[in-house]
Structure 1
Amino acid sequence: MWTHASWQGRLLPHPLPAGERLRAYATWCNAVEGNTTFYATPARSAVESWAGQTDPGFRFVIKLPKTITHERRLTGADEELRAFLDTMEPLGPRTHALWIQLPGSFGPTDLGALAGFLRGLPRSHRYAVEVRHRAFFDDARSARFLERALAAVDAEWIPFDTTALFQRPPTSDAERDAWTKKPRVPRRSSALTEHPIVRYIGRDDTAGTVEGWGHWIDTVVEWLREGRSPTVFVHTPDNADAPVLARRFHDEVRERLPEVEPLPEPMPSEPLTLF
């Protein structure tokens, strides 16, 4: 996400070498979704560059490759998993969680495969699972079985809240595209671990996005008061202003809990000059 085209020269300096773009993004936000790893395991040198551009406290939530989650459906992927974990090793403590996003067809009858896969993972990492099968949201028994499988290894259930997106018909091309691709499931906001992770997508208009995240402001404040350490990712269909919105969300939480540390000052989008 730190190479998003619409941010270059507007929110982030442009031009910037590829090896400096994450460093600039990290002055806006202190966490990032590692989404590109879903499509292919990157070169280890690229991961070393990510580590070099961020402080040890920066949070990466890294998605497992689709060869493991979607093609092999968590079965018989030991070699691919070992290669992926070895490649991610340079991130060290920056790997906040490894993100197991499962396809919409992965339902309650597949929980045995998930439980076995989770039991076989090294305990050196934290894990978080995102499910999209409707039964996990509509059927209490299926939800309980999933929670038990996750609790057995202290893994988190990542909610992807799309309720604001689907609250009214789309009004932009990006929203229309999101309507065809994003899961339409009920909101879920129960934390299983001390490190809950939330993915929230609003609308392309700021007012709709801000209106829709009120529930999460309340929830995150409650989690923080309980001593949890949540990570929240704010999206819109076009993501044009996502870093600005993420900082606004953080500021609204700090209005309720001033002891929460502020985010760093963003790097100027224009190059600094001597005159």
Structure 2
Amino acid sequence: MGQIRVGTSGWVYPPWRGTFYPAGLTQKRELAYLSERLDSVEINGSFYALQRPSSYRTWAEQTPDDFVFAVKGSRYITHMKRLRDGDAPLANFLASGPLALGPKLGPILWQLPPTLPFDVQVIDTFLSHLPRTTTQGVEVARRHDQRVDPAHAATDADRPLRHALEVRHDSFVTPRCTELLRRHGVALVVADAAGKYPLLEEVTADFVYIRLHGHDELYVSGYTDQALDEWAAKIRVWAETGDVFAYFDNDAKVMAPRDALALRARLPRP
């Protein structure tokens, strides 16, 4: 039986203050508050800009020993470079601090833009360059350019490094895609996005990564008890063969923490 972890995509949202977060709770305490109720969270600031190793270390210190962070890969790699010529950006991303999470580092999420179609050669090359252990991650990070301090490329131990790919173009709906990801051991993200993007449930790695963006309205709508029951049933099946990570991204109306807590209550703890 694999471990099941449920969380939200990010945790710094002003509308959550006074609703999910108690009135008067300082922003510095928000992550600690969330981590006392859920067992994982996606770091999504890393998607928009390189973070600092000191930030990753602080986040790790603010959470329980068994807490796990998923880290969203840089959009410079996925959206601007569109997975091409990505060696230097990948080195910079890894050198910017994710490895400083130590044992709390979970999967790295690579979210593709909806305008990026499936291209076997491009996807294969990108996946083949991803490090599969933290030691390999350090080796890649050491190739960074001048934008990153060389002292930041380090890890405290050699651990497996997992990757998940979220696709948003219909051309990825092909056995060639799942076969390719399975060969690389990269998880194909199960993304519920109100029908806007493909919902694929193929297991391609030793873990399953789920992103729940809102069933009826993207980033807005919450999940009914029936829908949560259905997701919980799927997760129990997937957990029979590996770990499962599930994150709610329907944050616009403070649905994400509510739904995450409700799903967490339906599932066994890690």
CA contact (8 A) 2:77 2:86 kept: yes
Q: Which residue of 1 aligns with 2:258?
A: 244
TM-score, normalised via structure 2 length: 0.77
Q: Give the C-alpha shift of residue 50 in structure 1.
A: 0.9
Residue 127 of structure 1, aligned match among 158, 163, 169: 163
Residue 191 of structure 1, aligned match among 203, 207, 223: 203
| Equivalences for residues 108-127 of structure 1 within 5 A | 108=118, 110-124=119-133, 125-127=161-163
Q: Give the C-alpha shift of residue 234 in structure 1.
A: 2.5
Residue 192 of structure 2, aligned match among 161, 166, 178: 161
Aligned counterparts of 1:53 and 1:229: Cα–Cα separation in 2:
24
Aligned counterparts of 2:122 and 2:58: Cα–Cα separation in 1:
34
Aligned counterparts of 1:101 and 1:190: Cα–Cα separation in 2:
17
Q: Which amino acid aligns with 1:146?
A: C
Residue 35 of structure 2, aligned match among 15, 23, 26: 26
Q: Which residue of 2 aligns with 1:177?
A: none
CA contact (8 A) 2:46 2:73 kept: yes
Question: How many equivalent residue pairs?
Answer: 229
CA contact (8 A) 1:31 1:58 kept: yes
Q: Specify the structure having the higher radius of gyration (Cα).
A: 1
Aligned counterparts of 2:262 and 2:26: Cα–Cα separation in 1:
28
Q: Give the C-alpha shift of residue 39 in structure 1.
A: 0.8
Q: Give the C-alpha shift of residue 91 in structure 1.
A: 0.7
Residue 218 of structure 1, aligned match among 192, 211, 233: 233
| Equivalences for residues 132-211 of structure 1 within 5 A | 132-137=168-173, 143-162=174-193, 165=194, 184-200=196-212, 201-202=214-215, 206=222, 209-211=224-226
Aligned counterparts of 2:269 and 2:166: Cα–Cα separation in 1:
28
Aligned counterparts of 1:20 and 1:53: Cα–Cα separation in 2:
8
Could you say which structure has the greater relative contact order, defined with CA pairs below 8 angstroms and 6 or more residues apart?
A: 2
| Equivalences for residues 53-68 of structure 1 within 5 A | 53-68=62-77
Q: Which residue of 1 aligns with 2:92?
A: 83
Partner SS, residue 160 of structure 1: strand
CA contact (8 A) 1:202 1:235 kept: no
Aligned counterparts of 2:179 and 2:201: Cα–Cα separation in 1:
16
Name structure 2 gaps, 5 residues minimum: 1-9, 134-160
Q: Which amino acid aligns with 1:149?
A: L
Percent identity between matched residues is 26
Aligned counterparts of 1:215 and 1:111: Cα–Cα separation in 2:
33
Q: Give the C-alpha shift of residue 237 in structure 1.
A: 5.6
Partner deviation per Cα, 1:119-139 (whole Å, 9 max, x = no partner): 1121111000000011223xx
CA contact (8 A) 2:73 2:108 kept: yes
Name structure 1 gaps, 5 residues minimum: 138-142, 167-183, 254-259, 263-275
Q: Which residue of 2 aligns with 1:228?
A: 242
| Equivalences for residues 249-268 of structure 1 within 5 A | 249-253=263-267, 260-261=268-269
Q: Give the C-alpha shift of residue 158 in structure 1.
A: 0.3
Q: Which amino acid aligns with 1:242?
A: A
Q: Which amino acid aligns with 1:136?
A: F
TM-score, normalised via structure 1 length: 0.75
Residue 44 of structure 1, aligned match among 41, 53, 60: 53
